[in-house]
Structure 1
Amino acid sequence: MANLSSTCDDLRAEYRNILPGISAEQTKQIEAAIKAGNFLEAASVVQTFKNLSGVEFNIAITGEPGSGKSSLVNAIRGLGDEDEGAAETGVVEMTKEPVAYHHPTCPMVTFWDLPAIGTPDFRPDAYLKQVKCSHYDVFIIIASERSRFCHTKLAQEIQKMGKKFFFVRSRVDLDLYNEKHKKSFNEERTLEKIRNNCVYNLSREGMSSPQVFLVSSREFQKYDSPQLQKTLLKEFYNHKTEMFAATEGPRGNR
């Protein structure tokens, strides 16, 4: 299980190193946002501190039909599947083209609910071109069952573009429920077994140190959700810093 206190302590240390001069009040705001499960609210504090307005961060969420892409988009934005403004979910594939969803309190961050890979209209060999992959800054590949060849192939192509991906294994609450009848059941060991299997399948296809997160959109504050949010927050900051450096560089050379 995630240790939220440890996560916040780690964030405090990171921001002290990354953002010299950040105030105690701003640090508290970051901690409070993370404890509430809102990494993008924490990112807004960084946005204010660094004065990096106008820089967008695009997170693409992709996976096979029924993997829980839209539910993850909703959960990470703090919404239920039936809330106003939520991504549409259902028992059939609902997403036919990339759909943008801005975070309610951090509109510079956009989540893109991509069409499912492996459908007749979106085959793996042409998928990234169809969804205009160059538009996105990072990718989340989501699977509701064990990782498949299409996931590793997609991860390989994303890495070839020089971009990062994070692998999310969804619905782990159901996996745990299905295993509880066994006399030898242990939640931590079961979660570790799932994680190790995902890492193994990605690594054997050439993925170097893949980052795997176990989540449940129904119980989003459990399992690896805090680590996923922390990782996305760090990527958001790194992206904005790079953009800021690219903007300020020519001025400094004048």
Structure 2
Amino acid sequence: ISKENEVTSKNLINTMINWKNLIPSLEILHNDQLLINNRHELIRPIFRMLEKSLNETNEFEQKTYIHQLCTTALLNLYTQLKPDECNPDIFNSEIVMECMRRTNDLHTTQQCLMLLSKGAQLFPEKLISMIMAMFAFVGDRLVRKDDLYSYQVMEKTIKTVIPSLYKEKNLEQRRPILAKITHVFVTSLAHLPAHRRQDIFRMLMESIGQDECLWFAPIQLFDSILLSPINKKNEETLKKSLIDANEQMLNSFNQFSSSTLLISLTRILNVLLNLPDQITSK
């Protein structure tokens, strides 16, 4: 890539693009035998191409294919680059999420999820905040249109992206990340249709490890209810929220083995026993 093209790419978002003519250049990037110097410099322009195609007001025939080419090219580049060549500030998870929101093509969604999964491996702190948005986005789709496609997106998010956040961590490093993940799920329950919650909860726990993480969920759920400003002001609302949460947790826990339940209940009991008998106001 010449210096002139590099400068031009920085203004890409403000230029008109002939998408049909751009396709061969993007297809070349899928050639694993291609030798490219300073390949990390391609990442920002490709993210801009993806953003430009998403913001294009006029629909064009190659739009879905452009999305697939951009996301696949980015995935290949991040796979080939060394960790010290990867700049977390350039990885635009919001654009990848926006691409997922706007597509009804399963292959494009899979490419976005794979790219987010790679990003989660490289930049876990950056991606963990996106998990809430992903739960909310897919949950909203399930509420509006409870179809197999939306459910598959949620399933692939849980099975591919989330494990990438902690895959290479030891137990001590992994636990706070797993706690954040379960907290995100618990606080996103309202976005999921009631008849899907148990399946998705079981899927999440099986993915991150039910023996290690199941006990997080009820503590975090009841904690979020008790600390909710709305519930603090209205005793009836608080009572109803606690009853609903209790029923939700009982139904969810019934999906797991006796040994897993025993491990989780023991850990919950240890937390309760270590709580102060009385809250002292300062």
Q: Please give the range of the TM-score, normalised by the shorter of the 2 chains.
A: under 0.3
Q: Going by fraction, where is helix more abundant, 1 or 2?
A: 2
Greater relative contact order (Cα < 8 A, sep 6+): 1
Q: Please report the TM-score for the alignment, with normalisation by the length of structure 2.
A: 0.24
Q: Please report the TM-score for the alignment, with normalisation by the length of structure 1.
A: 0.26
The structure with the larger Rg is 2
